[in-house]
Structure 1
Amino acid sequence: MSSGSLAGRYALLRPLGAGGMGKVWLARDEMLDREVAVKELTLPEGMSPKERAASVKRAVREAQATARLRHPGIVALHDVVVEQDRPWLVMELLRGRTLGDTVREFGPMPADYAARVGADVLEALMVAHAQGLQHRDVKPGNVFLTESGRVVLTDFGIARQEGQATLTEQGLMIGSPGFIAPERLAGEPGGPASDLWSLGATLYVALTGTPAYEGSAAQRVRATMTGPVPVAQGPLGPLLAAMMAHHPGARPDPGAVVQALRQVAAGGTASPLPVNQVATVPRQVRRRGPAALWIAAAAAVVLGAGGTTAFLLLRDRPDAAPTAYTVPRDVCTLISSQEVGRLLHTQDPPKGRPSADQVGPKCGWPVAGTGVGVQVQKDSDTVDPWSMTTASARALFQSQRRYWGRYDSLDWTWPEIGVKKSQKAERTPLHQVTGVGEEAFGYELKGPTGRVHSAHVFYRLANLVVEVEYTALGASPTDEEIRQAALRAAQASEQALRHAG
């Protein structure tokens, strides 16, 4: 099929690539007016109609399980369509390039950068494993480094749920030789430890620029099953060897591996890990070395690899904003208790009250007559703010500016500080705000007396859009003091994001 439309909705524009399991198309979702990627899954030749129907049914079931996964490190699956006797997977469109392509163009990655990538991928795998899904084809071509800084594990199209039959019937081996764990080559269904082995082989390529096992497909399979485990040079070498141990039970616990990868990403070292034991955290040293040179060379395509829970992010200088925030954070930690106390003029600051709506997660710190609030926002097409790209955050920021600029009079309420009934408030003109974020604007709300009682600041930092509100109903704060309090709250939240981890 060279062009056409699926389900009367997805217009196939042009092929993006092809592999053993199918072809990927650039497509347009004509209902939502957005570009998507469509994976056309191909089935082995010679299958009977009954076998083909069973494979299609299994692929749909696996796609449904994959669609439940919600993690910034996992490519989002929007839809599955069965047409022409085969399944088509509709996924988010990622812009950037694969880990394999990046290494081929720029050469081996420095250990700290490769460790960041590995930690992100392993966290995504752990989310899938927790829901009973194995990926089964972790390889450099399925690790995607986006232009916005996300590290995304793609191609869950052959993922397997625990308890399901494997697709090795009809002699079909799922995966890529050289990245398939020994136990799966031996005909076993494998498990989370098999994905860990494949990630070790993937990071070996990232670190050295060459596969752990080279040669023809048959030679790679033979070496994987019978050859010694290769050990790369540098701080990641022993860790990758442990991940690629021949026996699944000899491989370390994934949580310990994530921690060890973070240690290397932060400039420390990681020793081989005992099975199912958490590694001791070495002293972390902040340093700049070969990673800075490699990242500079790759900056035109890959801007960062942020997104671990420790926020091990690429920065040009210690106070620079990361290129992307991809792991959810408790919004109530963005302003410290001490700062809340100073803003609200109390020695007994309230605890943050988390909540959420369709715009995104938020937190409020209210006391009688005054309060401060923070909300991290998202657009309607994104699962959560941490899945936003820098481009979509810029668009959302401008959309918010246009939206709030339309209304001179607003309905306003804040029951927790004592404003339980909706009140009319007049909005001041929108104005540019400096000293917070990469771009920011603000406005104030005035009550019937013409006095400012609330100030709002919207700012964008990398791929996040944040709204901060400060309200004081008493007669003592001046209009300027309220504006400055909102700015201080915004700056406090920005600094918490910049220095996270």
Structure 2
Amino acid sequence: MSVHAGVLIAGRYRLVARLGGGGMGEVWQARDLSLNVDVAVKTVRNVAEDPERRRAAIAYARKEAQHAAALRDHPNIVAVHDVVEHDGAPVTIMRLVQGRSVAQLLDAAPGGLDEATVERIALGVLDALDAAHRAGIRHRDVKPPNVMVTDAGHVLLTDFGIAKHGADTRITRDGAVVGTVAYIAPERLMGQDLPAGDVWSLGVTLYQAATGISPFERDSAPASIHAITHHQPPRPAAGALTSAIVAMLDKDPSTRAGVAQVRRMLGDEVVAIPRKREWLAPALSVVAVTMAGLLAFAVTNALKDDSDTPESMPSDRGTSTPAATTPVTTAPTVSTSPKSAKATGSPGPDASLCTAAVTISSNALQLSIIGMNDPNNSPVDRMTSAVQPLRTGTTQVNEVAGHATTPAAKAKIQAMANDLTAMADALYAQLPAIRSGQDFNTKAADLAGKQLRTDAGDLGSICWT
């Protein structure tokens, strides 16, 4: 996509000046020639030449716009006005904010921000999250670059589409991140997507804002995951904010302080927060059991008639289902208590890498289900969106395998990458049937899912003794 000053987007928005950007895209100041006002324009890189990536990027840009539109009147949320296409890629039109992100403020003050500023950031984002959670929306990517502070000191939360580039310390799916790893809550790493996860991410953001230190940031995604699940950071030197930040970083979401409780703490420090044990060993096999088979479940139920029930999940013989209708699938709920995990012994040298492999695979499955269930897309686009995260997961799991030190762990992690590839290939092979309205057969994808569950479970005995 051609992006430079003077370019006209959708015949209406003329780019004026680049405001920032990264590997995935850029944000520009632009002039709305129709309304004669300035707006912000967010572009996405390198998607136009790949049909799968283009469809997925456009779908997620629209999803961000829908989320932000539902909250556009809230004073602490950046309004999204529209999503248009330019050179085959999505472009998001947003309110132009005159100010800097918390990340930019920290660049200028690497030792941390003053207490009054951090408290103002906390209260503003808490208000935004409260409105989002009441609307049934979880942000899933609260972090310093996504929190803006205007020149007048007003705080705004942005980027409800989690559409940032997947760098080494991020879990991604074709331009849409599940979240930047250093800010992801422990339960989200295990497949539980709760509103409490946003509170954790805000806690990490406030810790960094107050001290200049990201408590779980490491030099790789596996190392960051291990820090989140095992490491308890020192209490931050954040004055009156300290107790609130510590309460937001409780690794157990059931006892983590919620939005209302944190608000009370910021106004009155005398609020009792239950103390919890340290997070137990990674629930590797539980993650595998929780996530394995969900894709086959989604395929079977999302591409068939509403009258079918979860009891009609595909068997080893495979299932043929009509591809014409696509009702939304709800994944079955399975407990992720670490007490149920097999991986409760002493961790071996590759334990963190094994955890990362299962986490990435689980997120790939989750994102496939999200793509499969998008009500705004056609059956073909849904299947295309379901395939891409599996291919992205394959690449990431292979990268994890490359760091394994024991042959058994390396081989098993590579086997998981192969399982993800087999699932992606099996789904992609059914696109002609979906286009022609023929029956969709889940046998190959189901078998690959069963093998993925087996391989993930095997890691418990390989990586823990």
User: What TM-score comes out, normalization by structure 1 length?
Assistant: 0.48
Structure 1 residues 172 and 71: CA distance shift in structure 2, 3 A: closer
Could you tell me the percent identity over the aligned residues? 41
Question: Are the aligned partners of 1:104 and 1:209 in contact in 2 as well (CA < 8 Å)?
Answer: no
Q: Give the equivalent residue in structure 2 for 1:61.
A: 63
Listed one character per residue, the Cα deviations across residues 351-384 of structure 1 (whole Å, up to 9, x for unaligned) are xxxxxxxxxxxxxxxxxxxxxxxxxxxxxxxxxx
1:156-167 counterparts in 2 under 5 A?
Answer: 156-158=160-162
Q: Residue 249 of structure 1 aligns to a residue in which SS?
A: coil
1:183, 1:190 within 8 Å by CA — same for their partners in 2? yes
Shift of 1:50: 4.4
Specify which of 115, 135, 141 is matched with residue 119 of structure 2.
115
C-alpha distance in structure 2 between counterparts of 1:137 and 1:124, whole Å: 13
Gapped regions of structure 1 (runs ≥ 5): 160-166, 264-268, 276-501
| Structure-2 separation of matches of 1:198 and 1:31 | 38
Q: Which residue of 1 aligns with 2:278?
A: none
Provide the C-alpha distance between the structure 2 equivalents of 1:131 and 1:211, rounded to a whole number of angstroms.
29
Using the TM superposition, give the Cα deviation of residue 41 of structure 1 relative to its aligned residue in structure 2, in angstroms. 3.0
Q: 2:179 matched to 1:175? A: yes
1:259 equivalenced with 2:260 (yes/no): no
- Partner residue of 1:140? 144
AA aligned to 1:154 is T
Secondary structure of the residue aligned to 1:236 is helix
What's the offset of the Cα at 1:118?
A: 0.1
Alpha-carbon distance between aligned partners in 2 of 1:244 and 1:17, rounded to the nearest angstrom? 30
Q: Which has the higher strand share?
A: 1
Partner letter of residue 159 of structure 2? D
1:228 aligns to 2:232 (yes or no): yes
Query: Based on CA coordinates, which of the two structures has the bigger radius of gyration?
Result: 1
Aligned partners of 1:173 and 1:154: how far apart in 2? Answer: 14
Higher helix share: 2
Measure, in 2, the Cα distance between the counterparts of 1:225 and 1:108: 25
| One-letter amino acid matched to 1:273 | I
Q: CA deviation at 1:189?
A: 5.3
Q: Which has the higher contact order (CA 8 A, sep 6+)?
A: 2
CA 1:169–1:95 in structure 2 vs 1: closer, same or farther (change >3 Å)?
Answer: closer
Match of 1:250, SS? coil
The residue number in structure 2 matching 1:367 is none
**1:2-13 map, 5 Å:** 2-3=3-4, 4-13=7-16
- Give 1:180's aligned amino acid: I
* Counterparts of 2:82 and 2:3, CA distance in 1: 21
Q: 1:46 to 1:192 in 2, by over 3 A?
A: farther
Contact 1:256 1:273 in 2 (8 A): no
Q: Which runs of 5+ in 2 are unaligned?
A: 164-170, 276-465
1:273 aligns with 2:273: yes
Contact kept, 8 Å, 1:177 with 1:217, in 2: the verdict is no
The whole-number CA distance in structure 2 between the counterparts of 1:84 and 1:184 is: 35
Is 1:22–2:18 an aligned residue pair? no
Amino acid in the other structure paired with 1:238: S
1:59-85 superposed Cα distances (whole Å, 9 cap, x missing partner): 313312321212111011111112333
Tell me which residue corresponds to 2:251: 246
> Cα gap change, 1:177/1:61 in structure 2, threshold over 3 Å: closer, same or farther?
closer
RMSD: 2.8
Q: Report the number of matched residues.
A: 262
The DSSP-based 3-state class of the residue aligned with 1:156 is: coil
**Cα deviation digits, residues 386-437 of structure 1 (max 9, x gap):** xxxxxxxxxxxxxxxxxxxxxxxxxxxxxxxxxxxxxxxxxxxxxxxxxxxx
Give the letter aligned to residue 22 of structure 1.
Answer: G
* 1:51 CA drift (Å): 5.6
Question: CA–CA distance in 2 between the matches of 1:215 and 1:169?
Answer: 21
What one-letter code is carried by the residue in structure 1 that aligns with 2:58? Answer: V
Equivalent residue, structure 2, for 1:203: 206
Q: Which residue of 2 aligns with 1:31?
A: 34
Q: Given the superposition, is the C-alpha separation of residues 270 and 121 from structure 1 closer, same or farther in structure 2, using an over 3 Å criterion?
A: farther
Output the TM-score relative to the length of structure 2.
Answer: 0.51
